[in-house]
Amino acid sequence: MLPSKKVGEWKTHPELVRLKDLPSPPKELFYSGTWNPQLFHSCVAIVGSRRMTDYGCRVIEKIVPRFVFEKKTIVSGFMYGVDQYAHQVCIENGGKTIAVLGWGIKRELEGADRKLAQSIVSSGGLLLSEWEDQQATLWTFPVRNRIVAALCEDVVVIEAAVKSGSLITANIARKLKRKLWAVPGPITSRTSSGTNALINQGYARMWLGDEPTQVPIMKDPLLQLIQENELTANDLARKLGKPVSEIGAQLSLLTITGQLTERGGKYYVSEN
Amino acid sequence: MLVKINSVANVGLETVPVDVEVDVATAGFPGFTIVGLASKAVEEARERVKTAIINSGFDFPPKKITVNLAPADLPKDGAAYDLPIAIGVLIASGQLVPPKELTEGKMFFYGELSLDGTLRPTRGILLLALFAKHKNGSMIFVPSPSAAEASVVSGVTVYPVAKLTNLFGHLMSAEPITPLAHTKYKISDDEELIDLDLKEIAGQEQAKRALVIAAAGGHNVLMWGPPRTGKTMLAKALPGILPPLTDAEALEVTRIFSISGLLPPGIALIKKRSFRSPHHGVSAAGIIGGGTNPVPGEVSLAHLGVLFLDEMPEFPRSVLESLRQPMEDGEVEIVRVAGHVRYPASFTLIAAINPCPCGYLGHPRRECKCTEKQIAKYRHRISGPILDRIDLTVLVAPVEVEKLSITKEHTTNNLTSKEAKTVVVKARAIQSKRFKGTSLYTNSQMRNREVKEFCHLTPEAENFLKLAAEKYDFSARSYMRLIKVARTIADLTAEDTILPVHMAEALQYKQLT
């Protein structure tokens, strides 16, 4: 278990002033890690479904590094799926992140959770909770969400179904007059139905990432195809009408030289 | 009077001569006793033999009959001793005059009797024929439904016996039975040997390519992908692209099927490479072989063929671990009360796994319902040592309907099984030349020493491999595996040295991380 401390008289801390916006602010606050008031200066909440799809994964990989570059702190809820992946990508890109736990700070963590908690703390981030020894139950997660929303200026919903914890966070953020963003998704995907609804109802602004810059024109027909759409070796062999052995070799070469990234058998043009 | 009839017992794939001694005593109370470590099935021969003799119109002597199955310390099982016992009783009671060949020990009798005196299909006929072959001028008398399997053995006369009365007529030289003609084993037309043609499978170009590599180099394959993407179909196509069985190999496979009693009646020789797909409820004994009198398990039935484990993580761990010995040595050793047997078990393993318990991780349209923990647990069920023996890993992704267009011809990757087989046979020929004088047959069997000796990489290829090893953090094992696969890919194009393209293609089939 990581050593934890109580935030003495949190209401006197100027960096936590945002929490006072809440109609029911937490009574106490506990944390693990090194308290650094700078962390709370400019926060972005990344929230989303526990059942993250490949798309959600890609979205996080695209937007989190940008926030890190802008020196923003990523705040999320430490649940598997979108939350944990956001924490992880943030740390991998050298950023700092705050995890607001849905249970007491002294609760023992296991396996991958423990590893992630350790790396959050060792990278200069914080674990935060309003309880000391509360067990995780159904009601603790939505309650924790209000802190996530309150701490941040911007709240970005990556993926969320229509009835989900992420939409609770989004609602609270709206009531607290935080800037709410939602990432549009395929209308066929259940995990994007919530985010799409937020945009449709006008509650959230649509997050489209960077302004599209001039896309460099690739000479290689294979790279051109992949730039348009992520594809598997099979798709490429079909589209280009070449033997799959040749396509496979070419893909491996491009991956090793860093021009392409492979995940789950699909190839993407590497970012940056 | 005492008579001695020749028969055999099969222990594993070995055949031991058994003397069936029948004595009809002139004194003593009427009775019928069988001694010589007979199992229940042999014990019950008494009733079958007695009824069959009477129903065939002979007399069953009301005297004291003793049958001894020698050697007495070898456990005997099965109903195959019905026929020798019946013949023994007929001779010992003076109803049948034994021909000269019988008393000289040149005639072998083997088969199960039905109550009406007809003979029933009996397992292990092929093994009897192979055993009798070593004795000059042998004749074997076997049930006609199973006689075909013995006809492939030359140097032995096979008499198919339909009924006990026919055999009586033959031995009395009244109505001789025509011996079965020797069938020469030859694969003339291999079309019929293909169950499922590669070209029938839509899409999955890369998986099909992996199968060709697997067939060429004897590599094991792991296919992963969501349910209903064609993993089973792909696995079924593999036996059809493996090189045809040689005479010796076909006989070896047939022997295993003969002893298991799985040879269909009328089939002389198994020419097709077998495809075994045990369900994941299988026990360790079912997969390896077992029983008090050990019978071959799935690994041996898949000998020289394909063993397909669908949903591999669902198999009990003990079953998966038991695969390690056969995968390493190409045979299994089973020790049971009845003794110690060895069965060959050299197979190509195809394992199929879903990406996660629900199956939809990474699916383009459906979301996965599993937690990280569940996924990790699911993947951990397959141990490292098993994965280390699988050289090729390939993704079998869902094929979108619009890509399955029937009208459009995609000829580049649309290989038929026949074409694939030609390429595979060529690559195998290169390998047998390479491994001449060693105990190896295929690239997959190479150990580190042989990899260093036979796999020459161009400097560029080696450089590429180093870059890849750095990027993916390969272990020494993965490194060697990759070289072996690249060796096979180079063999498919008859290239002596491994070029960067071969190495790069091999990297496509690296293990999941």
Query: pLDDT digit string (tens) for B345-390?
Result: 999 999 999 988 888 887 777 777 888 788 888 888 888 888 888 9
Number of domains within chain B: 3
The reply to whether B177 falls in a domain is: no
Domain match, B163 and B194 both: no
- Residues B288, B390 within the same domain: yes
Q: How confident is the model at residue B217 (pLDDT cuts 50, 70, 90)?
A: very high
In a domain, B131, yes or no: yes
For residue A7, what pLDDT is reported? 85
d(CA B99, CA B165): 16
Q: What are phi and psi of A219, to 5 degrees?
A: -80, -40
Domain of B462: which CATH number? 1.10.8.60
Same domain for B162 and B45 = yes
The verdict on a CB contact (< 8 Å) between B504 and A246 is: no
Strand partners, B352: B223
Interval B387-400 mean pLDDT: 87
Residues B479 and B413 in one domain: no
**Dihedrals φ, ψ of A153, to 5°?**
-85, -40
Same domain, B394 and B296: yes
Q: What is the SS3 string spanning B162-200?
A: CEHHHHHHHHCCCCCCCCCCCCCCCCCCHHHHCCCCHHH
A-chain CB neighbours of B403 within 8 Å are 235, 238
In a domain, B261, yes or no: yes
Residues B237 and B348 in one domain: yes
- Does some domain include residue B182? no
Confidence class of residue B283 from pLDDT cuts 50, 70 and 90? very high
- Measured CA to CA in angstroms, residue B41 lies from A211, B46, B79, B110 at distances of 83, 10, 6, 14
Q: Do A244 and B205 touch (CB under 8 A)?
A: yes
Interface of B with A (CB under 8 A): 203-206, 208-209, 355, 361-362, 364-365, 367-369, 371-373, 376, 395, 397, 399, 403, 410, 412-413, 464, 467-468, 471, 489, 500-502, 504-505, 507-508
Same domain membership, residue B413 and residue B287: yes
Answer yes or no: is pLDDT of A237 > 80: yes
**Straight-line distance from the first to the last Cα atom of chain B, in angstroms, rounded to the nearest whole number:** 75
Of B171, B204, B224, the last residue of a domain is B171
Instruction: Go through the domains of chain A in sequence order and give each one's CATH number.
Output: 4-206 (3.40.50.450), 221-269 (1.10.10.10)
Q: If we measure between CA atoms, which residue out of B125, B184, B182, B128 comes closest to residue B155?
A: B182
- Check whether residue B194 and residue B167 sit in a common domain: no
Task: Tell whether the model's pLDDT for residue A212 goes beyond 80.
Answer: no
Confidence category of residue A211, pLDDT binned at 50, 70, 90: low
pLDDT digits (tens, 9 = 90+) for A244-268: 899 999 999 888 888 888 887 888 8
Residue B357 shares a structural domain with residue B463: no
- Rounded to two decimals, the ipTM of the complex is 0.76
- Answer yes or no: do B262 and B380 share one domain: yes
Of B14 and A212, more confident:
B14
In-domain check, residue B64: yes
- Per residue in A62-82, pLDDT tens? 888 888 888 899 999 998 889
d(CA A255, nearest CA chain B) in Å: 9
For residue B403, the model assigns a pLDDT of: 57
DSSP B334: E
8 Å CB contact of A238 and B410: yes
Q: For residue B179, tell me if it sits in a domain.
A: no
Min Cα separation B356/chain A (Å): 12
Give the mean pLDDT of chain A.
87
The closest alpha carbon to B220, from B366, B369, B393, belongs to B393
Q: Which of B395, B403, B413 sits opposite A244 (nearest CB)?
A: B413
> Residue B95 is part of a domain; what is its CATH number?
3.30.230.10
Same structural domain for residues B341 and B384?
yes
Distances (CA, A) of B101 to A205, B105, B132, B331: 100, 6, 14, 39
Last residue of one domain, picked from the residues B139, B171, B203: B171
Q: What domain range includes position B498? A: 446-513
What tens digit of pLDDT does each residue of A79-124 get?
888 999 999 999 988 889 999 999 999 988 888 889 999 999 999 9
Q: pLDDT tens for residues A155-202? A: 999 999 888 888 999 999 999 999 999 999 988 888 899 999 999 998
Q: Specify the CATH number for the domain of residue B387.
A: 3.40.50.300
Cα-to-chain-centroid distance, residue A239: 34
In a domain, B35, yes or no: yes
Which one has a higher pLDDT value, B88 or B404?
Answer: B88
The reply to whether B272 falls in a domain is: yes
Residue B260 shares a structural domain with residue B361: yes
**Best of A244, A250, A262 to disrupt the B interface by mutation (most B CBs within 10 Å)?**
A244
